[in-house]
Amino acid sequence: CLASGNAAAQGAYPNHPISLVVPFAAGGPTDVVARSLGASMSKTLGQSIVVENRTGAGGTLASTHVARAAPDGYTFLIHHNGMATAPALYRKLPFNPLTDFAYVGQVADVPMTLLGRKDLPPADMPAFIKYARENGDKVNLANAGLGAVSQLCGMLLQESLGTQFTTVPYAGTAPALTALLGGQVDVLCDQTTQTIPHIKADRVKLYGVTTLDRIKALPDAPTLQENGLKGFEVKVWHGVYAPKGTPPEAVAKFNAALRAALKDPAFTQKMAELGAEIVPESKQTPEGLQTWLQTEIDKWGGIIRKAGVYAD
């Protein structure tokens, strides 16, 4: 490996498969982005990128694993806003997002959708608001644990409605969506990267999108703010990280492959169909990610502390 021994004798980096850790269940939104990104990046790197799903504790187990992994250029993490919300949500977080990683760059921004099970009574968002306020904790809200964006979106939703649902956590929104499709839970806030095919196949009720403006991939879907939740916005962003101390040459090569993928039609077209927007070039860099992460830690930290939601 690059960190030790004679790089020339062992061949140039990368000379064996690279692990890309995903903090949530296979088949879900983060996994969809990771697998598609990995497939494109492996064309540039000449080595396969193996996606490893390490679920648990709202994504923080995966982050802890990568923070402690050998900094040899063969372990990376893809994570979303959860990297920025974790310090406020977890009083005993075993890693520091700002000091325990090397930063590679950002990938894409993804809107979320508020979904109900197909036979949930309310037909649209105004009816849902009324239903939610009348039924309170009789409404089951699925999420992917404390630190998931489904949790963040659900927390803001309950706050804006002034109601408290019963939360049902899963290892990712893939199993959460399966539960919604099976009628075991009532409501789920989840990313378009997973939900669009189910919305188009009419398998769920769509109450709205979580962006301030309507999105191209679902032009008929109203925003939540159009329907009474003024200013409601959750946008999901993705960063790629490595353990701190990863050789700068490995980070630079991984970053170059990332930036190539963000121009590769095989990746960009799939993302566009799923409602995701590739980030501008200024965010595709290590500095772009690091600066953004700090901003997001400040932003969500304040909101979460105000909501009083945390784990000991």
Binding site for ligand MLT (CB under 6 A): 24-25, 28-31, 80, 82, 144, 148-150, 172-174
Judged by CB, which is closer to ligand MLT: 45, or 206? Answer: 206
Q: What's the chain's length in residues?
A: 312
* Distance in Å, CB of 27 to ligand MLT, minimum: 8
Instruction: Give CA separation, 51 vs 70, 76, 101, 107, in Å.
Output: 17, 10, 19, 16
Closer Cβ to ligand MLT, 236 or 250, answer by number: 236
Q: Are strands 18-22 and 187-191 parallel, antiparallel or unpaired?
A: unpaired
Nearer to ligand MLT, 30 or 167 (CB): 30
Q: Is the peptide bond before 243 cis (omega within 30 degrees of 0)?
A: no
Q: How far is the CB of 250 from ligand MLT (least distance, A)?
A: 26
Q: How far is the CB of 203 from ligand MLT (least distance, A)?
A: 18
Using the minimum distance from each CB to ligand MLT, give the nearer residue, 120 or 149: 149
Strand spans (E) along the chain: 18-22, 49-53, 75-79, 101-117, 140-143, 166-169, 187-191, 204-209, 235-243, 277-278
For the CB of residue 211, give the shortest distance to ligand MLT in the complex, in Å: 16
Minimum distance from residue 175 beta carbon to ligand MLT (Å): 8
Comparing CB distances to ligand MLT, the nearer of 125 and 144 is 144
CB atoms within 10 A of CB 289: 25
Structure tokens at 92: 């005993």
Question: How far is the C-alpha of 168 from the C-alpha of 138, rounded, in Å?
Answer: 12
